[in-house]
Amino acid sequence: MKLQFAAWPEVEEYLRANAGIIVPIGSTEQHGPTGLMGTDYIIPSAMAEAISERTGICCTPPITFGMAQHHLGFPGTISLRPSTYVSVLVDVIQSLARHGFRRIVFLNGHGGNIAPVLTAMNEFYAGISFHREGGHRDVLCKLISWWTPPKTAAEITEIFGDGDGAHATASEIAVTQFLHSRYIKPVSADLRPARKGAVSDIHNAYDYRDRFIDGRIGSDVRLCTPEGGQRVFDVATDEIAEECMAFFSS
Ligand code: NI
Whole-number pLDDT of residue 199:
82
Please give the average per-residue pLDDT across 163-168, as a whole number: 96
What does the pLDDT average to over 146-170?
Answer: 97
Let me know if 180 is exposed, middle or buried by CB neighbors in 10 A (0-12, 13-18, 19+): middle
How far does residue 143's CA lie from ligand 1's centre (Å)?
A: 16
Nearest to residue 33, comparing CAs of 228, 193, 204?
A: 193
pLDDT of residue 109: 98
For residue 134, what pLDDT is reported?
A: 67
Domain assignment present for residue 204? The answer is yes
Per cent of the chain over pLDDT 70 is 100
Asked whether residue 132 carries a pLDDT value surpassing 80, the answer given is no
Which range of residues forms the domain containing residue 144? 3-245
Distance 27 CA to ligand 1 centre (A): 8
Give me ligand 1 centre to Cα 109, in Å.
Answer: 6
C-alpha atoms less than 13 angstroms from C-alpha of 223 in its C-beta half-sphere:
22
Work out the number of other CB atoms within 10 angstroms of the CB of residue 91. 12
CATH of the domain at 90: 3.40.50.10310
130 C-alpha to ligand 1 centroid (Å): 36
For ligand 1, the distance from its centroid to the CA atom of residue 38, given in whole angstroms, is 8
Query: What's the gap in Å between 245 CA and the centre of ligand 1?
Result: 25
Band of residue 161 on the pLDDT scale cut at 50, 70, 90: very high
Compute the distance from residue 146 Cα to the ligand 1 centre, in Å. 11
When pLDDT is averaged across residues 137-147 and rounded to a whole number, the result is 97
Mean of per-residue pLDDT scores for the chain: 96
Residue 250 lies in a domain: no
| Count of structural domains within the chain | 1
Give the pLDDT band (50/70/90) at residue 193: confident
> Residue 219 domain-assigned?
yes
Q: Residue 19 Cα, ligand 1 centroid: separation in angstroms?
A: 30
Please compute the mean of the pLDDT values over residues 50-71 and round it to a whole number: 98
Other CB atoms within 10 A of residue 70 CB: 21
Residue 157 in domain? yes
Give the percent of the chain with pLDDT over 90: 92
Question: Ligand 1: distance of its center to the CA of 120 in Å?
Answer: 21
Question: Phi and psi (nearest 5°) for 158?
Answer: -60, -40
Ligand 1 centroid to Cα of residue 90, in Å, is 23
State the pLDDT confidence band at 232, using cuts at 50, 70 and 90.
very high
Q: Is 116 left (phi over 0), alpha (psi -120 to 50) or beta?
A: alpha
Ligand 1 center–CA 193 separation, angstroms:
18
pLDDT at 74 over 80: yes
Average pLDDT over residues 56-71: 98
Tell whether pTM > 0.95: yes
pLDDT (mean) for 98-122: 98
Give the total residue count for the chain. Answer: 250
Q: Are 128 and 136 in contact (CB under 8 A)?
A: yes
Is residue 176 one of the residues assigned to a domain?
Answer: yes
Q: Give the separation between CA 4 and CA 58, rounded to whole angstroms.
A: 10
Give residue 141's pLDDT: 98
Burial string for 207-228 (b: 16+ CB within 10 Å, else e) reads: ebbeebebbbbbbbbebbbbeb
pLDDT band at 237 (very low <50, low <70, confident <90, very high): very high
The CA 150 to ligand 1 mean position distance, Å, reads 18
Ligand 1 centroid to Cα of residue 7, in Å, is: 32
Q: How far is the CA of 29 from the centre of ligand 1 (A)?
A: 8
